[in-house]
């Protein structure tokens, strides 16, 4: 019997990018199996990874282009669909100018597709109006990291360093549900004698694993970090030599923190003074320690300053740039890191270059063969772009995102999408956003095409093609190639991902995110390569040159600032953009559940995952439920100034009495992002997903057979 070969590749979901094997089955379809040789997951896969192949089935996903005719989406051929998109984009540009065209990308696109999409927007369309859903992921941490260290990479060290540190403060991350295979690093940390502190308003599955759980009021993480720094100073626990030798700006940051004495911070956050003191002791006593942030502190209208306050705590105690220590951000989306490095963000060019930097423009324009002056300047951030649809931006090309479910103030965003003159969507499935489109293009997915992604560690990985896409399905690179040709740009948009990556290497060369020393051949032979990796020999090997080995650990010798020093930035606490009042007396916070992913566009099509998490719910503390007269399973409405969402109540002591929680994976009446506040961080332009004022109304008992019933 002939043996069918397996293809080693990586999971399509979160930024762990777990290794897996894909094996075609004789009867059709494919099987996902463990791959024990990849160091991040060592064969472990969560339910989403194990069932990822189910979305490859033709009955689940799109297999033919759709065009809107007579108000309905009907099947069409590729030439007709592409012609219609090109004609409408070209007409809009002629009538209203290039910035009337918008492009919206996704953090799940490979590096090659993200790079090509950014180039397409700026070279073919000539528009500045491009951003992507990764803006909603870790843009606040990126801004704070760049401000402090001169460079943003989610983790400046590999995950393998976590079990070898002395203490980790994990702020606003429920990785037991969002990245389950990563939990082993924290289990090993505690087995090795280290301690884990979890900061989260909910007692999540992750918090249950912690040595200490701090449950601050949503939106007060900034005050919490300032209060901890105050105690570090007051107790004489600062690393004065490190501060003197490796940082600048300490006096101003210290002065700001000294206004946050413990009792004051307790009143703001709800975290007791003894817990504050215990945290400082646990964090400062070991020789090494880390702070890791995620969406909790980042998805706030003050997210950049909040992350900056945690970075200040790390700098004051001498952690960043030392072995098994430092600050890091847990990137969420599969290619959230690489997706923002190579041109999808409104203000960036490939290699993490700034779009308004003349030298960066000259370099990238030279690779692209265009005049630097022809490149547009920075455009709107993600929410601002979505908010402008149907007014300044009249036509939109959208790839790999579902903002009808995932964007803040989602009902308003849906209205703006409906108001467009023209919407084209390229996606794997008919998402809620694709259902609104004038043209929908079916594109290949992870197991059907080769490409690279960059994990939360900054590790560039090769996803290999394991199976052919169904007939009638093409790659996003093919879409951009065909549209570019129809719009008058015949060259520069290859369909081959390796050819695209070779150009990306040249465009990134010399930039902060330098991929120029990374090749497909290297990626096929190694477990990934950490950027920056310039195309130059490793140091001290003149007699026997060898390729640069990549940079698993950043900042060991110097930071990426002009003077090599990290920068303290003084910050002060401020309230959330929308505090509770008599009409809306509670706070809503949102998040994820283990069996669903992001907007659920793919995972909601997998039976096993739907059985585990069939629908939305609202977590209520027992005291709040008693006050409202709500029983477990009752239908409740959560109401904010932006709308109303309805779901069954889930009564639990794991939530604060002044806070309610909803997961955001579902559309319809249970859409959590109908409620959320688009108030933006002034630096990162991150919306305030994690906190808004709401009230809860009890509607009555829910049938136990209804989706989402407990």
Q: Of 218, 97, 134, nearest to 655 (Cα)?
A: 218
Cβ neighbour number for residue 522 with a 10 Å cutoff: 16
Residue 532: cis peptide before it, omega within 30 degrees of 0? yes
Average pLDDT over residues 589-596: 96
Alpha-carbon separation of residue 303 from 87, 102, 197, 333, 560 (angstroms): 41, 26, 20, 18, 22
**Can you tell me the distance from the alpha carbon of 433 to that of 122, in angstroms, rounded to the nearest whole number?**
24
pLDDT category at 334 given cuts 50, 70, 90 is confident
Q: In the prediction, which pLDDT does 620 show?
A: 98
**Can you tell me the distance from the alpha carbon of 375 to that of 367, in angstroms, rounded to the nearest whole number?**
13
The answer to whether residue 680 scores a pLDDT higher than 80 is: yes
Average pLDDT over residues 538-558: 80
Q: Say how far residue 457 (Cα) sits from the centre of its chain.
A: 13
Which residue bears the tokens 């990479």?
Answer: 153
Q: What are residue 337's phi and psi, to 5 degrees?
A: -70, -60
pLDDT category at 543 given cuts 50, 70, 90 is low
The answer to whether residue 547 scores a pLDDT higher than 90 is: no
Quote the mean pLDDT of the chain.
95
Average pLDDT over residues 347-359: 96
Strand 290-293 vs strand 167-171: parallel, antiparallel, or unpaired? parallel
Strand partners, 20: 9, 34
Q: In the prediction, which pLDDT does 35 show?
A: 92
Strand partners, 274: none
Percent of the chain scoring above 70 in pLDDT = 97
Average pLDDT over residues 146-168: 97
Average pLDDT over residues 159-188: 97
DSSP one-letter string for 273-294? HHHHHHHHHHHHSSS--EEEE-
Is residue 184 within 8 Å of residue 44, measured between CB atoms? yes
Q: In the prediction, which pLDDT does 501 show?
A: 98
The answer to whether residue 31 scores a pLDDT higher than 70 is: yes
Structure confidence by residue, pLDDT tens digits, 220-237? 999 999 999 999 999 999
Average pLDDT over residues 243-270: 98
**Can you tell me the distance from the alpha carbon of 468 to that of 449, in angstroms, rounded to the nearest whole number?**
8
- Of 69-73, 339-343, 702-706, which range is least confident? 702-706
- In the numeric block, which tokens belong to residue 446? 């992870």
List CB contacts of 444: < 8 A, sequence separation 6 or more.
Answer: 428, 469, 473, 474, 475, 476
pLDDT category at 705 given cuts 50, 70, 90 is very low
**Can you tell me the distance from the alpha carbon of 53 to that of 31, in angstroms, rounded to the nearest whole number?**
7
pLDDT category at 28 given cuts 50, 70, 90 is confident
Q: In the prediction, which pLDDT does 1 show?
A: 42
**Eight-class DSSP state of 32:** E
Average pLDDT over residues 380-388: 98
Give kind and range of the element (H or E) at residue 109.
Answer: none
Structure confidence by residue, pLDDT tens digits, 549-568? 999 999 999 999 999 999 99
| Of 547 and 111, more confident | 111
The answer to whether residue 588 scores a pLDDT higher than 90 is: yes
Strand partners, 231: none
Q: In the prediction, which pLDDT does 704 show?
A: 43
- In the numeric block, which tokens belong to residue 411? 């009902």
List CB contacts of 113: < 8 A, sequence separation 6 or more.
Answer: 399, 400, 451, 475, 476, 477, 480
The answer to whether residue 544 scores a pLDDT higher than 80 is: no
Average pLDDT over residues 173-189: 96
Average pLDDT over residues 177-186: 96
CB < 8 Å & 24+ apart, contacts of 22-29: 22/53, 22/447, 22/466, 22/467, 23/466, 24/466, 24/467, 29/53, 29/56, 29/57
**Can you tell me the distance from the alpha carbon of 127 to that of 376, in angstroms, rounded to the nearest whole number?**
6
pLDDT category at 148 given cuts 50, 70, 90 is very high
Structure confidence by residue, pLDDT tens digits, 64-92? 999 999 999 999 999 999 999 999 999 99
Is residue 417 within 8 Å of residue 680, measured between CB atoms? no
Q: Of 542, 510, 504, 495, nearest to 523 (Cα)?
A: 504
Q: In the prediction, which pLDDT does 27 show?
A: 81
Q: Of 331, 311, 360, 365, nearest to 513 (Cα)?
A: 360
Structure confidence by residue, pLDDT tens digits, 413-443? 999 999 999 999 999 999 999 999 999 999 9
Does pTM surpass 0.85? Answer: yes
Strands (DSSP E) contained in 267-346 are: 290-293, 326-329
pLDDT category at 26 given cuts 50, 70, 90 is confident
- In the numeric block, which tokens belong to residue 377? 């300047």
Q: In the prediction, which pLDDT does 332 show?
A: 82
Structure confidence by residue, pLDDT tens digits, 286-304? 999 999 999 999 999 999 9
Count of alpha carbons within 13 Å of 686, Cβ hemisphere only? 29
Q: In the prediction, which pLDDT does 709 show?
A: 46
Q: In the prediction, which pLDDT does 542 show?
A: 57
Domains of the chain: residue spans and CATH: 7-56 (2.20.25), 66-136+335-515 (3.40.50.740), 155-329 (3.40.228.10), 586-700 (2.40.40.20)
């Amino acid at each position: 019997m002939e043996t069918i070969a397996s293809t080693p590749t990586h999971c399509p979901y979160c930024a762990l990018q777990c290794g897996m094997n894909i094996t075609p089955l004789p009867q059709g379809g494919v099987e996902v199996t463990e791959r024990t040789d990849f160091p991040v997951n060592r064969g472990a896969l969560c339910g989403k990874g194990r069932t990822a192949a189910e979305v490859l089935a033709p009955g689940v996903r799109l297999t033919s282009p759709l065009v809107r005719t007579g108000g309905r989406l009907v099947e069409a051929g590729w030439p007709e669909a592409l012609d219609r998109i090109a004609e409408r984009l070209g007409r809009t540009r002629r009538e209203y100018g290039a910035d009337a065209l918008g492009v919206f990308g996704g953090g799940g696109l490979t590096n090659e597709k993200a790079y090509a999409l950014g180039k397409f927007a700026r070279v073919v369309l000539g528009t500045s109006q491009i951003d992507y859903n990764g803006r909603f992921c870790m843009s606040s941490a990126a801004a704070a990291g760049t401000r402090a260290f001169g460079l943003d990479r989610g983790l400046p060290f590999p995950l393998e360093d976590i079990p070898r540190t002395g203490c980790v403060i994990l702020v606003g991350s429920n990785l037991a549900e969002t990245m389950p295979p990563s939990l082993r690093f924290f289990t090993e940390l505690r087995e090795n004698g280290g301690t884990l502190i979890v900061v989260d308003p909910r007692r999540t599955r992750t918090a249950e694993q912690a040595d200490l759980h701090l449950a601050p009021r949503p939106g007060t993480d900034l005050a919490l970090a300032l209060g901890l720094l105050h105690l570090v100073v007051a107790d004489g626990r600062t690393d004065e030599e490190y501060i003197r030798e490796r940082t600048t700006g300490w006096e101003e940051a210290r002065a700001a923190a000294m206004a946050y004495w413990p009792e004051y911070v307790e009143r703001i956050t709800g975290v007791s003074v003894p817990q504050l003191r215990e945290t400082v002791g646990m964090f400062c006593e070991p020789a090494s320690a880390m702070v890791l942030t995620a969406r909790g502190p980042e998805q706030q209208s003050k997210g950049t300053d909040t992350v900056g306050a945690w970075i200040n705590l790390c700098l004051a105690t001498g952690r960043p740039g030392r072995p098994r220590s430092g600050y890091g951000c847990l990137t969420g989306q599969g290619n959230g890191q690489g997706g923002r490095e190579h041109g999808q963000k409104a203000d960036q060019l490939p290699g993490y270059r700034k779009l308004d930097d003349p030298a960066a423009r000259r370099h990238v324009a030279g690779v692209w063969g265009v005049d630097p002056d022809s490149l547009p300047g920075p455009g709107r951030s993600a929410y601002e772009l979505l908010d402008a649809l149907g007014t300044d931006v009249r036509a939109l090309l959208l790839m790999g995102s579902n903002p009808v479910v995932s964007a803040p103030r989602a009902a308003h965003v849906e209205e703006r999408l409906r108001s467009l003159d023209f919407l084209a969507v390229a996606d794997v499935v008919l998402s809620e956003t694709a259902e609104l489109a004038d043209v929908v293009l079916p594109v290949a997915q992870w197991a059907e095409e080769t490409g690279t992604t960059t994990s939360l560690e900054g590790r560039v990985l090769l996803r290999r093609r394991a199976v052919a896409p169904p007939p009638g399905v093409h790659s996003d690179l093919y879409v951009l190639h065909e549209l570019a040709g129809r719009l008058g740009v015949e060259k520069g948009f290859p369909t081959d991902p390796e050819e695209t990556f070779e150009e990306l290497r040249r465009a990134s060369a010399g930039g902060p995110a330098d991929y120029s020393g990374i090749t497909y051949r290297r990626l096929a032979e190694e477990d990934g390569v950490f950027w920056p990796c310039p195309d130059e020999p490793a140091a001290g090997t003149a007699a026997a040159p060898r390729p640069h080995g990549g940079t698993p650990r950043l900042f060991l010798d110097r930071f990426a600032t002009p003077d090599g020093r990290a920068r303290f930035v003084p910050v002060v606490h401020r309230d959330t953009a929308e505090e509770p009042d008599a009409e809306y007396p509670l706070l809503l916070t949102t998040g994820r559940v283990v069996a669903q992913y992001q907007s659920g566009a793919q995972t909601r099509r997998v039976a096993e995952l739907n059985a585990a998490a069939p629908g939305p719910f609202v977590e209520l503390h027992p005291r709040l439920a008693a006050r409202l007269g709500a029983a477990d399973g009752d239908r409740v409405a959560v109401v904010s100034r932006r709308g109303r969402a309805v779901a069954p109540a889930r009564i639990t002591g794991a939530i604060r009495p002044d806070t309610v929680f909803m997961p955001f994976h579902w559309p319809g009446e249970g859409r959590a992002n109908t409620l959320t506040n688009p108030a933006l961080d002034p630096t990162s332009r991150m919306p305030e997903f994690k906190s808004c004022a709401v009230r809860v109304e009890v509607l009555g008992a829910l049938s136990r057979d209804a989706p989402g019933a407990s």
